[in-house]
Amino acid sequence: MITQRLSLMAEMLDELATGRWYASRPGFITATRRQPTFLPDLWIANVDHPLGASGCAVGFACLDSRFVGLNLRDLEPTTRAPSLVPGYPPRLASGWDAVCVYFGLEDQMARWLFGPDGNPQSWAQVRDWVRMVLECAARDNARVAPAPGLRAAG
């Protein structure tokens, strides 16, 4: 799990929930609209009340310049991923594979956070799910890490 990227996702979702988010990748918005120009109004009528907030979270991250390396290609997330065969160049991951690679998540966790089955009611709810995952990861890391100053008996 890449906690820095998930923390950034929680931050972006908070901005979406409070109406402070704007697309920051050049060419995606006009001066008067926060909504990316290539998204038809029928698909997302209002950025503050999107259809399927969890899946849209990844799409909006693709439009945010803070998520370096996460891109949109035909409305599907993409990123560079390590080669599946040693010695070959990196491959282009797309869809769920890109989400898993970029955020360092297992497929089941990525689909739980960002898939349609959770049926989130708001950006804030998705943000809270991401924060919960981060808190659990922090607790797990705290249990595994040895306390400073303790030495093995020897």
Query: What is the Cα–Cα distance from 14 to 19, expressed in whole angstroms?
Result: 8
pTM, two decimal places: 0.76
CB atoms within 10 A of CB 16: 24
User: What is the mean pLDDT of the segment spanning 44-49?
Assistant: 43
Domain boundaries along the sequence of the chain: 3-36+50-139
Within 13 Å of residue 89, how many CA atoms lie on the same side as its CB?
Answer: 2
Q: Do 84 and 101 contact (CB within 8 A), yes or no?
A: no
pLDDT digit string, tens, across residues 61-116: 988 889 999 988 777 788 999 998 989 999 999 889 999 999 999 999 998 998 87
CA angle at 127 for the pair 124 and 128, rounded to the nearest 5°: 90
